[in-house]
Amino acid sequence: MNRHSILVAALLLALSLTACGRQAPGTGATDSPKAQTFRWKLVTTWPKNYPGLGTAPENFARMVERMSDGRLHIKVFGAGQLVPALEVFDAVSQGTAEMGHSSAYYWKGKIPASPFFTSVPFGLNVQEMNGWLHYGGGLELWREAYAPFNLIPFAAGNTGVQMGGWFNREINSLADLKGLKMRIPGIGGEVITRAGGEAVNIAGGEVYTAMQTHVIDATEWVGPYNDLAFGFYQIARYYYYPGWHEPGPSLELIVNKQAFDQLPADLQAMVEVAARAVNQDMLDEYTARNNQALVELVQKHGVQVREFPADVITSLHSITLQVLQELADSDELAKRVYESQQAFEKQAEAYHEISEAAYYRIRKE
């Protein structure tokens, strides 16, 4: 390389650096927030890379990495890797991690209204939940509920209607729920307790052992695709439907407020858009894989699929309405959230009766 070509090469290098905005320190360019790289931690309630629930935060992190060209790098931690599964809320609130992926109803001891932001029994389905959150005032209420904890929530995944759960005995009447120890969080757990059972809240990764050692007699988890991965068919024979307790559960992405405020506007927008994309993507994956997994559970593993008897469902429904009313009466925010959700459900249901429900009926005929 002669002197002239060295000069040309140096000039081209300088031009390309300028074009990329990566001037040497002291030029002022490094002060621009767009030149700054952020390295964040995202803690989750799910085992690392667990199908569906655990892959959602991984997809989210990858999307943000690509959209931001590496300016916002997010490292995802499975349950117990940085903090235990049910300490995600506190960890993000205190800034131990900048982000978390979990479910709002795990925090009902801190925020009485929180179950409404995941799912309440006999409540909104997935379409209605997404409609209420994004166009019905739900997300504003959720942000109000989390603001005192220094957190900004986003919807980030929804499983659709879940299964009723795994039982080591048949449920033929309400009497069969008496003394039943079941892993079931949120309002559904309260309803099972009032129906004579005993609700236990334990993280997913510990459920298998609890069933196997007879610490619990039953567990709800998600649906066929997720439940197959946990191997619940090895420890319980009866698989009940429908998931009356979680008809459209929304998962959450929570972000530490100070951390979010430090991001430039374009990275904030990427977080928001990636959360919305993951929210839809999870439902798409469950829709594609749930029935394949159900066929495998029945044909390969001999699982007995059962529908809850109608009178059991009727009783659970009436207990649910009592529990929700008591919750609303006990907490001002819970009351506003419940009323907002009820009003939304009423109007959405009126149209769904002549759209979704009517369509299912004609397709079967």
Residues that bind Ca ion (CB under 5 A): 162, 220, 246
- For residues 271 and 267, what is the distance between their CA atoms, to the nearest angstrom? 6
DSSP state of 73: E
- For residues 3 and 270, what is the distance between their CA atoms, to the nearest angstrom? 46
CB of 293 to Ca ion, least distance (A): 15
In contact, 101 and 251? CB cutoff 8 Å? yes
CB of 143 to Ca ion, least distance (A): 24
Between 56 and 67, CB nearer to Ca ion: 56
Q: Where are the alpha helices (DSSP H) in the chain?
A: 3-20, 55-67, 88-94, 126-135, 138-146, 186-194, 204-212, 224-230, 257-262, 265-299, 310-330, 332-354, 356-364
Helices and strands counted in the chain (H then E): 13, 11
CB of 52 to Ca ion, least distance (A): 11
Between 40 and 89, CB nearer to Ca ion: 89
CB of 96 to Ca ion, least distance (A): 26
At 336, the amino acid letter reads R
Between 128 and 220, CB nearer to Ca ion: 220
Between 56 and 270, CB nearer to Ca ion: 56
CB of 107 to Ca ion, least distance (A): 15
**What end-to-end distance do the CA atoms of the chain give, in Å?**
79
CB of 184 to Ca ion, least distance (A): 8
Residue 272 neighbours by CB under 8 Å, 6+ apart:
154
Between 163 and 312, CB nearer to Ca ion: 163
Between 112 and 204, CB nearer to Ca ion: 204
- For residues 140 and 136, what is the distance between their CA atoms, to the nearest angstrom? 9
Best CA proximity match to 107, nearest among 151, 54, 58: 151
Between 149 and 233, CB nearer to Ca ion: 233
CB of 222 to Ca ion, least distance (A): 5
Between 112 and 115, CB nearer to Ca ion: 115
CA of residue 202 relative to chain centroid, distance: 16
Best CA proximity match to 245, nearest among 103, 84, 350: 103
Between 136 and 188, CB nearer to Ca ion: 188
CB of 14 to Ca ion, least distance (A): 58
CB of 109 to Ca ion, least distance (A): 18
The number of C-alpha atoms within 13 Å of 24 and in the hemisphere containing its C-beta is: 2
- For residues 201 and 86, what is the distance between their CA atoms, to the nearest angstrom? 10
Cα–Cα distances (Å) from 132 to 47, 127, 193, 303, in that order, read: 29, 9, 29, 36
And the tokens for 287? 């829709």
